[in-house]
Amino acid sequence: MTPVSPQHIAERVVEAILAQKLAPGERLGEQELADNFAVSRTMVREALMQLQARGFVQVQPRRGWYVVQPSAEEAQDAFAARRIIETGILGEAGRPMQSVIGQLRRHIAQEQEAIAGADAATRAFLLADFHVCLAEQMGHRLLALTLRDLTARTTLAATLFQSTHSASQSCAEHERIVEALERGDTEGAKALLLEHIGTVERSLEIRPPEAPDASDRLRATLAPLFGG
As a whole-number percent, the residues of the chain with pLDDT over 90 amount to 73
- Say what the pLDDT of residue 90 is: 87
User: Sheet harboring 57-60: ordered strands across?
Assistant: 27-28, 64-67, 57-60
Model pTM above 0.95: no
DSSP string, 108-171: HHHHHHHHHSS-HHHHHHHHHHHHHHHHHHTT-HHHHHHHHHHHHHHHHHHHHTT----HHHHH
The structural domains of the chain, with segments of one domain joined by +, span 6-67, 72-202
Q: Which residues pair with 59 in a beta bridge?
A: 65
Query: Using alpha carbons only, how large is the chain's radius of gyration in Å?
Result: 21
Question: What separation in angstroms does the CA of 28 have from each of 58, 126, 152, 189, 194?
Answer: 10, 24, 17, 39, 34
Tell me the per-residue pLDDT of 71-115, one tens digit each, with 9 for 90 and over.
999 999 999 999 999 999 987 765 567 778 999 999 999 999 999
Match domain 72-202 to its CATH number in 1.10.3720.10, 3.80.30.20, 1.20.120.530, 3.30.70.260.
1.20.120.530
Q: Looking at the domain that runs over 6-67, which CATH code has it been given?
A: 1.10.10.10
- Distance, in Å, from the CA atom of 140 to the CA atom of 143, rounded to the nearest integer, reads 5
